[in-house]
Structure 1
Amino acid sequence: MDNLRIVFMGTPDFSVPSLKMLHAVGYHVVGVYTQPDKQRGRGKKVSASPVKELAERLEIPVYQPQTFRDPAAVAELRALKPDVIIVIAYGKILPQEVLDIPAYGCLNVHGSLLPKYRGAAPIQFAIKDGVPVSGVTIMLLDAGMDTGKMLKKTEVVLDAKETTGSLFDKLSVIGAETLIPVLNDLETYEANAEAQNEAEATYTEKITKEMTEIDVKQDAVVIERLIRTLDPQPGAFVMHDGKRLKIWSADVVSGTDAAPGTIIAVTKKTFTVQTGKDALCIREVQPESRKRMATAQFLQGCHMTPGDSL
């Protein structure tokens, strides 16, 4: 169905590969919706979203309404006469009035194998829970939170050291590769859409500051997954000498009978801290107000000895 009139809605980097692929294969994207420009980074400079930057390079009209509760915004969208709306991490809940506009509905590229991991942080919670397989689901949006019928799934096996950042990158590309076949035969996919099993559904909450402090009383395997969950941001930390020390990379190793938080070994390249079960060999850190660095570099300027505590 290469004659479809498509409206694309997305904001972050995760959305970019799909828009890029739609354009590359020749689909007619009549408009791109993205969040309004906002202040980003330490300098608080006002900048456009990654999706807006790509759309402007591709010379696709860009729309940035504050809300779809504004009748003028809905009328503007309706005037584009979309056959289908594709929504990928747009950042706004679409009212039923918008969902009803396109003849083929609104498709969503979701970063999990639904119905598991609905909600705000499906990629992060796949890492946090240590699942062996994740993936993407192409689904039809309805009024619920990720509750619509499913059209197609693609699985990916997670690496042993998978981070939110690495899985984010993988799923953004897999999402684009999964979306195109659905659009090519949209009527068939929609005719065979599969309802989600509500009994298997789980919801993920937003990552909060409270989740970022490491509890050394937890098992090492749980802490190591949390470290990878919060990479590349906001990072997991412990307190050391009254300051935050972010931990970016660690290996689960055998521990001792020392109290959780005790440094049980120090080498030129690493230090090892006892946890509630087993221990963590720390390989990459970030001292407060400094950049990420190998533990070997950190230890050159920080004296640690076995028996010290975090």
Structure 2
Amino acid sequence: MNIVYMGTPEIAAVILEKLIHSKHHIQAVVTQPDKPKGRGKQMQASPVKELALNHNIPVYQPLKAKEEAFLAILKEINPDIIVVAAFGQILTKSVLELPKYGCINVHASLLPKYRGAAPIQWAIIDGEEKTGITIMHMDAGIDTGDMILKEEILIAPKETAGTLHDKLAVCGGSLLLKALEEIEAGTAVREKQEETEATYVKVLDKAMGHLNFREPAIKLERFIRGLNPWPSAYTYLEGKTLKIWDAEVLDETMDGQPGEVVRITRDSIVIKTGQGSLALKEIQLEGKKRITVDAFLRGFNLQQGTILN
């Protein structure tokens, strides 16, 4: 089929790579405009744009996909189908109805659960045992369209958003090709979502990463994994940001106040929480590299009783 592909971040680039090496023809790629990044604020292209340019695929970056000028371009391209994966913009009815086979979306959750922009992270934060990929026909709602195919993936005990992202990206590419084959053959079965089971997740931001040690240790540990690698979980040590990359839950009840360093071992810093304790294993002090706790303790004189806040 002739395809216009819409996507922006790394997960969308992995899926696009799979599509590039399939029998289908990618007429164009649509992605978000370049954005300033890093300390130098230099303009940086999205992973999808970089991949498309490497394969000599035309790239379009409309500020808004509903712009008349962009709609005219889409009509001229006249794709059989539009494939969307983490594009970052809501498509209007005029775009959704333009292709012969409509628009389909590769969504990183088992719909109708976890509609919205951060399903991978929230599945971990909420303690789900599994998640997956859903291929769905798009309608005017946010992730509300009819489902075509689903594939489940188990969430490992130490799964981070980063490792789960990589698994889902690979799964998404393979499932997309299967869905395209069924759509082209006219054998795709559309299943309506059960609205009573729908959940929506909010967008992540850096402020969310500030840990509240009054919460139970099990919740904090999931939070740390769910925000790894971005926006990352953190606290403050002596006025400096301390990012926490890995931690383990201890069922022990210890004396102290939430956020207090109640024990220091060779390779862990144990923090009192609202329920149980949290053993920090890998951390990163502001201005320093990410290191294991044993390496950190060799260069930092941390005292029992110190409060992280």
Give the TM-score normalised by the residue count of structure 2. 0.96
Tell me the number of residue pairs that the alignment of Structure 1 and Structure 2 aligns. 307
Which residue is equivalent to 2:276?
278
Which residue is equivalent to 2:100?
103
Which residue is equivalent to 1:173?
170
Which residue is equivalent to 1:15?
12
Question: Could you say what the CA RMSD is over the residues aligned between the two structures, in angstroms?
Answer: 1.4
CA distance in 2, matches of 1:237, 1:38: 25
Quick one: structure 1 residues 190 and 122, their matched pair in 2 at CA, closer, same or farther if it must change by over 3 Å?
A: farther
| Percent of matched pairs sharing the same residue | 46
| Unaligned runs of at least 5 residues, structure 2 | none
1:237-248 to 2 correspondences below 5 Å? 237-248=234-245
Which residue is equivalent to 1:64?
61
Quote the offset at 1:255 in angstroms.
3.1
**Which amino acid in the other structure matches residue 170 of structure 2?**
V
Quote the offset at 1:304 in angstroms.
2.0
CA contact (8 A) 1:182 1:189 kept: no
Equivalent of residue 132 in structure 2, options 135, 159, 182: 135
Quote the offset at 1:210 in angstroms.
3.3
| Unaligned runs of at least 5 residues, structure 1 | none
Q: Deviation digits for residues 217-242 of structure 1, max 9, x if unmatched?
A: 11000000111111101211112112
Which residue is equivalent to 1:258?
256
Quote the offset at 1:148 in angstroms.
0.3
Name the SS of the counterpart of 2:141 in structure 1.
coil
**Which amino acid in the other structure matches residue 131 of structure 1?**
E
Give the TM-score normalised by the residue count of structure 1. 0.95
Quote the offset at 1:17 in angstroms.
1.9
Quote the offset at 1:188 in angstroms.
6.0
Quote the offset at 1:191 in angstroms.
5.0
CA distance in 2, matches of 1:302, 1:214: 22
CA distance in 2, matches of 1:146, 1:81: 24
CA contact (8 A) 2:162 2:228 kept: yes
CA distance in 2, matches of 1:126, 1:111: 10
CA distance in 1, matches of 2:177, 2:151: 12
Quote the offset at 1:189 in angstroms.
6.7
CA distance in 1, matches of 2:134, 2:65: 25
CA contact (8 A) 2:281 2:293 kept: yes
CA distance in 1, matches of 2:289, 2:40: 17
Which residue is equivalent to 1:85?
82
CA contact (8 A) 1:162 1:228 kept: yes
CA distance in 1, matches of 2:185, 2:44: 40
Quote the offset at 1:203 in angstroms.
0.4
1:1-310 to 2 correspondences below 5 Å? 4-187=1-184, 192-253=189-250, 254-310=252-308
CA contact (8 A) 2:116 2:142 kept: yes
CA distance in 1, matches of 2:6, 2:173: 14
Q: Deviation digits for residues 225-266 of structure 1, max 9, x if unmatched?
A: 111111101211112112221111100012313222221211
CA contact (8 A) 1:36 1:48 kept: yes
